[in-house]
């Protein structure tokens, strides 16, 4: 103060809770609490133990939020441990930290579903930052494919393709004829001959890039020769005024032989613009046939196709700086390998719960395998664990830990101890299910947000058709503030509700994932 240093001792940190200029509460805490649920919990439990636990949570999360040293950061957190909050605050922190040379489009957030994407879009502006690029993995794939293609196979083989493509030898069948106005300019055999001019010492991707340059140079050479032909030059005079405007941007009257030749060349380049675009976009490469040859199969998978196109056409986005993936446990190693190939210069934040995968696979992702894949690409992974649950009641937390990760039971801290035990209701058929659902719905608080979670979309639609006061999750653009939403488990990932009714527990259910969506009441 006044250019003097004054030594002080901080005896207490006191946080004031204000709403619309009204002081609602005051409590002491070791760190500034930013998460609204933590604030609410601390209000209701003002004791030294609660303060120390809250401080610990904040410190764990802040280490993750402010980590700028790790090229890949893996956050393994149980349900309700603040993973989503960490993701949002980390995005805001990175955009602020690198605000002089980072814009929101330099960052990609991959979300589990569109409902979650819309939820993020509502929250991020409140943190003072623009939203980064956001999409699901399926939506990301479509950005690498330039046309609609029917895919027959559900099984991907990206790791196999990655191992074989670089050294694969193309045949004439791996090319497509290059045509212009139904006239073949280069046949498959022609392209194969040009391909043989490229160095066999190069990877297949580099040979394809070199081949594209050879084909372009061949067309430009033909155009150069044709532009000197008097018969072709005479076609300039046949151009209408509108055609001249399209080609040259103005009307022309070349007065010398050189000017005529240059104008003729420009006219020919314009006429061949679609041909040159075909060559530049490598539309002459038969991606499907290459995959069939490499994998010795007759069926194509969408991920295999997109990866092969990404790799052979060199479509990697080297300017993307940060990739943040939520619910990483629901990805396959093939999907992650695709991402590593697509964004080779990115820094990674991978957030999930290794015990809550809903990926239908005989070989579900393990975090050890995930880390091994990154390290095989010379990317060191830093892992941080979040084992404190403060969203769900103690009874619900105990239930989802028991069904998902029982070996963590001694490591998990629960802030909201106690609570109502989950309720089990048996139904003989769909009619009795509807009767019980309607009975339970009557007891729910209309001011709270409740969810009826199903194992599939078909049942969610059937329940919505019979219980009209519900909102169908597949048609909702965003979560309502209150009321009852019906949605399949795949759409409920990453979301939280005051009350949850699991409509159809069965052998296909991922119980821990479904249970952990509830914070207060769980009915099964």
H or E stretch covering 339: helix 333-342
Q: Nearest 5 degrees, angle CA 370-CA 374-CA 377?
A: 150
Residue 441 among known ligand-binding residues:
no
Identify the CA nearest to 13 among candidates 26, 29, 33: 29
Residue 1 among known ligand-binding residues:
no
Q: Is the dihedral of CA 185, 308, 140, 490 positive or negative?
A: positive
Query: Please, are residues 473 and 438 in contact by the beta-carbon 8 Å criterion?
Result: no
| Rounded Cα distance, 196 and 189, in Å | 11
Q: How far is CA 226 from CA 78, 220, 263, 467, 479, in A?
A: 69, 10, 12, 73, 63
Secondary structure percentages of the chain, helix, strand, coil, to 5: 45, 15, 40
What are the tokens at 377?
């690409």
Q: How far is CA 204 from CA 117, 247, 327, 416, in A?
A: 37, 37, 34, 57
Number of residues that this document lists for the chain: 524
Identify the CA nearest to 450 among candidates 500, 514, 513: 500
Residue 82 among known ligand-binding residues:
yes
* Cross-strand partners of 384: 75
Residue 473 among known ligand-binding residues:
no
Residue 77 among known ligand-binding residues:
yes
What are the tokens at 524?
């099964």
Instruction: Give buried/exposed letters for 469-488 (b at 16+ CB in 10 A, else e).
Output: ebeebbebeebeeebbbbbb
* Cross-strand partners of 352: 76
| Rounded Cα distance, 349 and 359, in Å | 20
- Residue that has been written with the tokens 């979040």 in this structure: 386
Residue 78 among known ligand-binding residues:
yes
* Cross-strand partners of 22: 19
What DSSP string describes 455-490? SSHHHHHHHHHH-TTEEETTT-SS--SSEEEEEEHH
Query: Please, are residues 210 and 199 in contact by the beta-carbon 8 Å criterion?
Result: yes
Q: Which residues contact 48 (CB under 8 A, 6 or more apart)?
A: none
Q: Which residues contact 298 (CB under 8 A, 6 or more apart)?
A: 292
Residue 230 among known ligand-binding residues:
no
| Rounded Cα distance, 15 and 18, in Å | 10
Residue 83 among known ligand-binding residues:
yes
Rounded to 10 degrees, the C-alpha dihedral 335/336/339/344 comes to -150
Binding residues: 77-84
Binding residues for ATP: 77-84
């Amino acid at each position: 103060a006044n250019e003097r240093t004054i030594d002080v001792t901080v005896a207490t940190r006191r946080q004031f809770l204000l709403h619309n200029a009204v002081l609602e509460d005051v409590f002491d805490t070791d760190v500034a609490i930013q998460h609204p649920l933590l604030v609410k919990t601390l209000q209701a439990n003002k004791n030294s133990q609660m303060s120390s636990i809250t401080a610990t949570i904040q410190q764990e999360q802040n280490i993750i939020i402010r980590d700028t040293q790790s090229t890949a950061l893996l956050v393994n957190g149980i349900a309700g441990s603040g993973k989503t909050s960490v993701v949002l605050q980390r995005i805001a922190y990175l955009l602020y930290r690198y605000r002089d040379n980072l814009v929101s489009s330099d960052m990609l957030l991959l979300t589990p579903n569109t409902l979650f994407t819309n939820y993020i879009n509502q929250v991020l502006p409140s943190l003072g930052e623009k939203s980064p690029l956001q999409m699901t993995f399926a939506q990301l794939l479509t950005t690498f494919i330039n046309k609609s293609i029917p895919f027959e196979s559900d099984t991907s083989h990206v790791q196999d393709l990655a191992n074989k493509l670089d050294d694969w030898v193309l045949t004439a069948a791996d090319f497509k004829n290059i045509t212009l106005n139904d006239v073949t300019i280069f046949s498959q055999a022609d392209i194969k001959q040009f391909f043989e001019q490229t160095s066999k010492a190069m990877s297949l991707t580099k040979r394809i890039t070199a081949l594209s340059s050879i084909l372009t140079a061949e067309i430009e050479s033909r155009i150069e020769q044709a532009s000197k032909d008097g018969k072709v030059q005479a076609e300039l005079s046949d151009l209408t005024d509108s055609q001249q405007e399209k080609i040259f941007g103005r009307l022309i009257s070349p007065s010398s032989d050189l000017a005529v030749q240059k104008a003729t060349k420009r006219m020919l380049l314009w006429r061949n613009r679609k041909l040159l675009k075909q060559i530049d976009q490598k539309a002459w490469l038969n991606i499907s046939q290459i995959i069939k040859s490499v994998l010795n199969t007759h069926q194509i998978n969408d991920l295999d196709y997109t990866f092969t196109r990404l790799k052979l056409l060199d479509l990697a986005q080297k300017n993307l700086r940060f990739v943040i993936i939520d619910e990483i446990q629901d990805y396959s190693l093939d999907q992650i390998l695709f991402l590593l190939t697509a964004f080779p210069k990115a820094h990674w934040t991978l957030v999930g719960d290794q015990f809550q995968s809903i990926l239908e696979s005989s070989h579900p992702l393990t975090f050890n395998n995930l880390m091994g894949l990154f390290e095989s690409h010379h990317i060191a992974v830093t892992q941080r664990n979040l084992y404190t649950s403060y969203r769900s009641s103690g009874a619900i937390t105990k239930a989802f830990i028991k069904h998902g990760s029982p070996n963590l039971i001694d490591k998990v801290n629960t802030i909201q101890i106690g609570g109502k035990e989950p309720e089990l209701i048996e139904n003989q058929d769909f009619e009795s299910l509807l009767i019980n659902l309607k009975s339970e719905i009557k007891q729910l608080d209309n001011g709270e947000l409740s969810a009826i979670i199903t194992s599939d979309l078909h049942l969610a639609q059937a329940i919505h058709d019979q219980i009209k006061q519900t909102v169908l999750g597949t048609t909702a653009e965003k979560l309502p503030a209150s009321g009852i939403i019906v949605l399949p488990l795949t759409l409920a990932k990453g979301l939280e509700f005051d009350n949850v009714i699991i409509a159809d527990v069965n052998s296909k259910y991922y119980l821990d994932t479904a249970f952990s969506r509830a914070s207060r009441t769980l009915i099964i």
